[in-house]
Chains A and B, each alone.
Chain A
Amino acid sequence: MPAHLITRSPGPGPRASRRARRLRATALAGALAAVLTPVLSACGGDTAAASGGSTLKWTSSYFPTHWDPVVGGSGAQFRELALTYASLTRTDETGKAVPDLAKSWEYNDRGDEITFHLRPGLTFSDGEPVDGAAVKAAVERAQKQKNSALFGDLTSIESVDADGLDVVLHLSQVDYQIPQLLGQRVLQVASPKAARNPEKLDQNPVGAGPFVVTQLVPGTKAVLKKNPDYWDAKNIHIDNVELTSAPDASTVVSGLQTGVYNFADLDPSQASAAKKAGLDVFVQPGFNASNLSLNVNKAPFDDDRVVDAVRHAVNRQEFVDKLTFGYGEVTDQPFPKGYVAYDPESENAYPYDPAKSKKLLAEAGHKAGDIKLDLVIPAEDPQAEIVQSQLAKVGIKVTIKIDKNWATPFFAKDLTFSLYATTGRDSAVQTLTAHFGPDGPLNLSTPYEPDGFEAAVAEVRRTPLESPDYAKTLQAATRAGLESKALVFTYSQPNLIAKSKAISDLPKNPAHIDWTGVTISGSR
Chain B
Amino acid sequence: MTMVRRVLTLTSGRIAVTVLAVIALLAVLGPLLAPQDPLATSDNTLAAVSGSHWLGTDHLGRDTFSRLLDGSRVSVLGSLEVALTALVVGVVPGILSVYLGRTFEWITLRLADTLVALPFLLFAVAVIALLGNGITQAMLVTGALVSPLFYRVARAATLAVARSPYVEAAIIAGASVGWIVRRHVWVKVLPPIAVALAQTIGVGFIIVSSLTFLGIGVQPPAPTWGGLLASDLGYLSYQPWAPLAPALLIMVTVWAANLLADAIRDVSGEAGRAFVNQRRARADRPDTTGSGPEPATTGGA
Contacts and interface: CB of A to CB of B under 8 A. Distances in A.
B146 to A, nearest CB: 25
A389 B41 CA distance: 7
Contacts of B33: none
Q: Give the one of A322, A379, A399, A403 with max B CB within 10 A.
A: A322
Given A321-B45, A388-B221, A402-B220, A379 B215 contact: yes
A26 interface: no
Interface SS of chain B: helix, strand, loop or mixed? loop
A269 B59 contact: yes
Interface string B58-95: 01110000000000000000000000000000000000
A248 interface: yes
A267 interface: yes
Contacts of B41: 322, 385-386, 389
A249 interface: yes
Interface string B243-256: 00000000000000
A385 B42 CA distance: 12
B164 interface: no
Contacts of B236: 250, 273
A410 to B, nearest CB: 16
Interface in B119-137: 129, 133
Contacts of B40: 389
A273 B40 CA distance: 28
B14 to A, nearest CB: 38
Nearest to A405: B129
B31 to A, nearest CB: 18
Interface string A261-298: 00000010110110010000000000000000000000
Given A270-B237, A276-B237, A380 B220 contact: yes
A267 B234 contact: yes
Contacts of A4: none
A267 B235 CA distance: 10
A404 B125 CA distance: 11
A384 B220 contact: yes
B59 to A, nearest CB: 6
B233 A248 contact: yes
B238 interface: yes
B219 A400 contact: yes
A382 interface: yes
A273 B234 CA distance: 11
A385 B220 CA distance: 7
Contacts of B43: 318, 321
Interface in A392-421: 399-404
A322 B233 contact: no
A380 B215 contact: yes
Contacts of B237: 253, 269-270, 272-273, 276
Nearest to B214: A380
A61 to B, nearest CB: 13
Main secondary structure of the interface of A (DSSP, over half): helix
A382 B133 contact: no
A322 B234 contact: no
Contacts of A400: 219-221
A402 B133 contact: yes
A272 B220 contact: no
B238 A272 contact: yes
Nearest to B222: A400
A505 B253 CA distance: 51
A402 B219 contact: yes
Contacts of A250: 233-234, 236
A269 B129 contact: no
Interface in A64-92: none
Contacts of A276: 237
A74 to B, nearest CB: 28
A403 B220 CA distance: 12
Interface in B203-217: 215
A322 B43 CA distance: 8
A270 B238 CA distance: 9
B153 to A, nearest CB: 36
15 contacts: A272-B237, A273-B236, A273-B237, A276-B237, A322-B45, A322-B59, A322-B61, A380-B215, A381-B220, A385-B221, A386-B41, A389-B39, A400-B219, A400-B221, A402-B219
Nearest 4 pairs of A and B residues by beta carbon = A273-B237, A380-B215, A389-B41, A385-B221
Given A269-B238, A381-B220, A389-B41, 18 more contacts: A250-B234, A250-B236, A253-B237, A267-B234, A269-B234, A269-B235, A269-B237, A270-B237, A272-B238, A322-B60, A380-B220, A382-B59, A384-B220, A385-B220, A389-B40, A400-B220, A401-B133, A401-B219
Interface of A: 248-250, 253, 267, 269-270, 272-273, 276, 318, 321-322, 379-382, 384-386, 388-389, 399-404
